[in-house]
Amino acid sequence: MTSLVRFSPDLHHWLVQNLDQGQAPSALVQIMIEQRMESRVAQAIVEAFVAARLQGRAPPLDSLEIEDAPPAYVYEKPIFSAESRIATTDRVVPVLLRVEQPVVVVLGDVLSADECQELMKLARPRLKPSTLVSPYSGENLVTSQRTSLGMFFRLREDAFIERLDARISELMNLPIENGEGFQVLHYPAGAEAAPHFDFLQATNDANRASIARSGQRTSTLITYLNDVESGGETAFPKVGLSVAPQRGNAVYFEYCNGQSQVDHASLHAGKVVRSGEKWVATKWMRQHRFVSANEAGSEGMVASNG
């Protein structure tokens, strides 16, 4: 269900003026929240203005349809193991910290130093400006909310990636086939990722089609590929937790239960890299086997030709 939210023309002009001046969207959201606007409403309005600018169309004048507030999230038994040390086929990974609600787990020694180096080496020539999926159009947009460079590996792309896919799937306690391909992100000094969710919002045709094919995203594992000189923490503002990036360590979190509810307490951000650089490898898991839009199109072509 959606609701029509109305706002004043003064807010419209204020947003346009500040975005024209290069103000960070996350900062504008925070100011609106401090002025007693509900956080999800502030986020939706700013995202709509940013998306409109990137697409070369006029932003909303005085109203916007947004998703209604969801019912309270029901915490069930976590997907992640309750063990203090997780034994995979080729590695034993220690649990360093746990948060119960939302489910957040910090892990040590997920990747070796050599594996981290190899991932960065393979990813570097394929990096492109990172995008965020617009919740309104479903398009991949380059935006100031994420100032990193990124690329995707295909699932089981080669023997090295397949070995890592297998280890990570054992850690995340879901089949390899449910995983999207690794995304490697590079944050140079000054780069950051604004607060966001990893679950898909069913507010556009592309996201609804993806959920229909593969189910909702259930969980994320962010593995740090290098030590960061200063900054670059993964922050969970609803929890008051920040995870410092250390090479080979990872942070895991869940946000979808058996009822397909999504946990808004999983809101997270990549803090600004104050000095040095930050490299991460991210794995998202789905409820079912992951089928990309390209794969779905190819399967449709095969079916129609048969």
Q: Looking at the structure, do residues 33 and 93 belong to the same domain, yes or no?
A: no
73 within some domain = no
Question: Containing domain of residue 6, as a range?
Answer: 2-67
- Say if residue 104 is in the same domain as residue 29: no
Count CB neighbours of 269 within 10 A: 19
Kindly report, residue by residue over 207-266, the tens digit of the pLDDT. Answer: 899 999 999 999 999 999 999 999 999 999 999 999 999 999 999 999 999 999 999 999
Same domain (yes/no): 19, 156: no
- What angle is formed at CA 81 by the lines to CA 80 and CA 83, rounded to 5 degrees? 145
**Mean pLDDT across 276-287:** 98
Q: pTM above the 0.85 mark?
A: no
Last residue of a domain, one of 33, 67, 101: 67
- Per-residue pLDDT reduced to its tens digit, 29-68: 989 998 989 888 998 999 899 989 888 899 999 999 987 7
Same domain, 225 and 269: yes
Mean pLDDT of the chain: 90
Residues 11 and 90 in one domain: no
Residues 188 and 224 in one domain: yes
Q: Are residues 31 and 138 in the same domain?
A: no
How many domains are there within the chain? Answer: 2
